[in-house]
Amino acid sequence: MFKPIKILDENDPIVREKNIDVTFPLSKEDKKMIQHMIDHLTNSQIEELSIKYDLRPGMGLAAPQVGINKNYFVVVHEVDEQVFDNYVLINPKIVSHSEELIYASTGEGCLSVNREVEGIVPRFARVTIEAYDEDGNKIRVRAREELAIAFQHEFDHLNGILFTDRIDKDNPFKDKDKMRMI
């Protein structure tokens, strides 16, 4: 029986705290939480289930958002109608990125930010991340466009950074012409 995860709000100090690297093998609790995060995000993107369980749709969650100050995040990317690619990135590092910057036309959202925030969040158009999978194997993931934005958004969470921090307070649409809208 699925139960929604309790997700911390942006005002909770835990989402701003320092996160520590995960050691392997993963604890039972972390394994369980990772599966729960995947289930929550998947259900949130299936309309009937998002209504049934009262879930805000989202494609990513980082451990600090669920009260765990460890370096990992999960992204569930819908690649086709109800077909999802799951990414579990543990102790991730961005090892390279494009020069080109992009931003999401609809703005970014976050399951910890329960208000509308307008403005441009500059992101690299392409990133390469090195991380570990759940079994402790080193992995290298390349992402572009929407998925690249999701990875950078979640990676920021591991440094206590929210997307709202990256929006210019005085001019939320600053440098719009210097980036590509997606």
List residues near Zn ion by CB under 5 A: 110
Nearer to Zn ion, 110 or 121 (CB): 110
Distance, in Å, from the CA atom of 25 to the CA atom of 135, rounded to the nearest integer, reads 7
Q: How far is the CB of 136 from Zn ion (least distance, A)?
A: 26
Q: Cα 93–119–108 angle (5° rounding)?
A: 50
| List 100, 116, 146, 154, catalytic entry | 154
Query: Alpha-carbon torsion 3, 133, 56, 112, what sign?
Result: positive
Nearer of residues 110 and 129 to Zn ion, judged by Cβ? 110
Neighbour-count burial for 113-127, b at 16+ CB within 10 Å, e otherwise? beeebebbbbbbbbb
Active site residue 154: yes
Residue 68 or 110: which CB sits closer to Zn ion? 110
- Of residues 58 and 91, the one with the C-beta less far from Zn ion: 58
Pick from 100, 84, 98, 92: nearest CA to 140:
92
**Minimum CB distance to Zn ion, residue 175 (Å):** 22
Query: For residue 88, what are its two tokens?
Result: 């579990």
How far apart CA 166 and CA 73 sit, in angstroms, is 19
The least distance separating Zn ion from the CB of residue 109, rounded to whole angstroms, comes to 8
CB of 169: closest distance to Zn ion in angstroms? 19
> How is residue 104 written in tokens?
């999401």
Task: Give catalytic residues, as residue numbers.
Answer: 154
